[in-house]
Amino acid sequence: MQLIIDVGNTKVKLAIFKEATLKEKREVVLEHFTQGVIDLVKSYPVTKAIISSVGRLTELQCRSVQNRFPTIILNHKTSVPFINEYDTPETLGVDRIGLISAFAKAYPGKNGLIIDAGTCITYDFITSRGVYKGGAISPGIRLRYTSLHSLTANLPLLETRVPKSFIGTSTESSMHSGVVNGVVQEINGVIAQYKEEYGHVHVILTGGDAQILSERLKNSIFAHSNFLLEGLNYILNISND
């Protein structure tokens, strides 16, 4: 069995896979990372692990895993199931590498646009020939609310709320409309651009805000909450021990 670790901006996801099957998934805060790993793996015969971290995991925390199992620390030099044509591969986020790998495994021979709606919204495009071209990065829903509050004098910091109408009739409802509907229109527009350029594009939506957005997007998409974990597991499967 394999231990998959995805360290995001706010949470750490821990998962156990047996071959391609997800057996268990947990979320912990960064401060409880080591104990979270210990609690999870004591129920499974883990033989190896992979860590995907945006840089928030300490060396000590990494070693707590490396000392237990053979471990891959994902980076741009790790073997992956796609051809990377990104101009600066060393700057490509490990979360994006995992998502592209997941698509290459799940949908070979298809053009793919993977949209990860989290702290940032990332767009990643891979061709039907397995060539990763690049994509885009924009602020996510929470970043937009936070920016409206912190960079202006009078706007409040609001919790995410789906607006009842696209026309805001108060400051708060106008902010909800601007943020949520703005993100929806952005995503629809990006999908349309790729379809105009490449024809049929298989669209995957994942990330913490995927559920909020999937019901409001007019394009045909596939929401997949475990897509990154599956991609990381696949990288670990094809890696040399």
Decide if 157 is inside a domain: yes
pLDDT score of 55? 67
**Does 146 carry a binding-site annotation?**
no
Q: What pTM does this model have?
A: 0.93
35 with 119, same domain: the answer is: no
102 with 175, same domain: the answer is: yes
**Does 112 carry a binding-site annotation?**
no
Residues forming a β-bridge with 147: none
95 assigned to active site: yes
Count of domains for the chain: 2
CATH number for position 67: 3.30.420.40
38 with 156, same domain: the answer is: no
Q: How many whole angstroms separate alpha carbon 65 and alpha carbon 69?
A: 6
**Does 209 carry a binding-site annotation?**
no
- For the record, the structure tokens of 162 come out as 């789906």
What's the CA angle centered on 111, arms 84 and 8, to 5 degrees? 60
Q: How many whole angstroms separate alpha carbon 239 and alpha carbon 233?
A: 10
The answer to whether 117 touches 140, Cβ cutoff 8 Å, is: yes
Mean pLDDT score of the chain? 94
122 with 217, same domain: the answer is: yes
pLDDT score of 240? 67
Residues forming a β-bridge with 83: 131
Decide if 236 is inside a domain: no
Catalytic residue among 39, 95, 124, 209: 95
Which residues contact residue 40 at a Cβ distance below 8 angstroms, ignoring those fewer than 6 apart? 3, 14, 16, 24, 26
Question: How many residues belong to the chain?
Answer: 241
Question: Where residue 51 falls among pLDDT bands split at 50, 70, 90?
Answer: very high
Q: How many whole angstroms separate alpha carbon 229 and alpha carbon 99?
A: 8
